Amino acid sequence: MSKPADLNLNDWLLRGNGDKWLALASSAELSSLQLTTKLRESLTQEQTHGVLELAELRQRALQKFTAAEKMFFTRTSFEQATDQWIAQYKAARFADRGHVADLCCGIGGDALGLLQVANKLTLCDRSPELVKYAARNLAEAYPEDVTPTVVRVGDVTELALGSYGAWHIDPDRRAGGKRTTHAEFQEPSDVAIDTMLTYNPHAAIKLAPACEVPPRWAEAGELEWISRDGECRQLVVWHGELTESHGQRRATMVKAADHETTVVRTLVGSGDSPMPADETIEHYVYEPDAAVLASGLASELAQEHQWWSFASTSGYLTGTTLVDEPATSRFEVQEVLPLNTKKLARYLRVRNVGQLEIKHRAVDLNPEQLRRELKLEGDNRATLLLTRVGEKRIAIVANRAGDL
């Protein structure tokens, strides 16, 4: 099977010409070399590369989308795409907004959520291929959905935004070829988005978790860091009537549950509260969720539970009692030792520890190299929390406390 001269790779894939080969590539029957050789017997080099890449991305996308095996991706658009559970969570704020626009839509990650709440949905991206992929992905994920969907290719800054009830935008963070965390270097830039907001202020701006947010956006809207399963995935700047806590910061933790999204915990605050501090390490240590740390709301969490920081650079908190706080991982302290390999090895050997989880903050080391040097033997489990208190490097030997 060869590709017609007038049919580009993306259209070739979308029309199903590669389905047979994608099924072959998804099987585990052939080695990488055997698979490539088999594909090249019937396909061009470009088609072979396209099939192999899409098969790989579909496999990786199973962690992001339940319909991943039928969806279409490019590598860059896949990496920037919102997963369906966070998309579903975000979309709730767009309920009752009528006609919604998803700008810089990519492969349609956020659109998967918006489609469920909008009366009408417009997809817009400057890439014709991505717009086609987004429309197809919506159809594959929700084949029975009848929400009217409009597809546009072009500059999102030129849309008549006043005709929409609200809009979502995911600016290109690699417009210059390298990933950036500066809003001014994204496409569209922060200045361009400012202009868009004058035409319609009801917007959600998706950014990388570490993005340096323009102060004017933080003051005018609401900043929300969202994590799923412990990893902070994105930062959203809510504007206009989509804002729930004006001028505040929010850390939200969601969990994937089949096709539904479970909100585990939401924490709201200014981010200005002082952190209680004391170098004393009590019986329990708490590690805040990545969204809490990224949002700067760890101090609010500490004050809520009467915890304190024993190491300002580590993010770890400590307290005297065990609290079932879903915004943290919880550890019961067994011993606090100097970060000395020989002393640690001796301590763990005496206690028959053979299965060791190693976590580290504010100390530069290779956990796997340390694991080899410890020469672990035994049936017991433990967790090492490696960090710094002042100038001292310490090792906290602990057990995960789990949920109450």
Is residue 312 over pLDDT 90? no
Query: Tokens 């978790």 belong to which residue?
Result: 209
Per-residue pLDDT tens over the stretch 71-86: 999 999 999 999 999 9
Q: Report strand pairing: 249-257 vs 222-228.
A: parallel
Q: Does residue 355 surpass a pLDDT of 50?
A: yes
Cβ neighbours of residue 213 closer than 8 Å, sequence gap 6 or more? 183, 207, 223, 235, 237
Q: Note the Cα 387 to chain centre separation in Å.
A: 25
**Cβ atoms of 361 and 387 closer than 8 Å:** yes
Count, in order, helices (H) and strands (E) of the chain.
Answer: 14, 16
Would you give the end-to-end CA distance of the chain in angstroms? Answer: 59
Q: Which token pair is 391?
A: 């100038």
**Phi, psi (degrees; rounded to nearest 5) at 205:** -110, 115
Q: CA 137 to CA 2: how far, in whole Å? A: 25
Which range is least confidently modeled, 55-59, 144-148, 203-207?
Answer: 144-148
Residue 2 has pLDDT above 70, yes or no: no
Task: Say if residue 188 is preceded by a cis peptide, omega within 30 of 0.
Answer: yes
Percent of the chain with pLDDT over 70: 97
pLDDT mean over 212-240: 97
Residue 258 has pLDDT above 80, yes or no: no
Rounded average pLDDT over 267-284 = 95
3 state SS of 351:
coil
Contact by Cβ (8 Å): 318, 282: yes
Q: Which residues of 235-267 are buried (b: 16+ CB within 10 A; e: fewer)?
A: bbbbbeebbebeebbbbbbbbbeeeebeebbbb
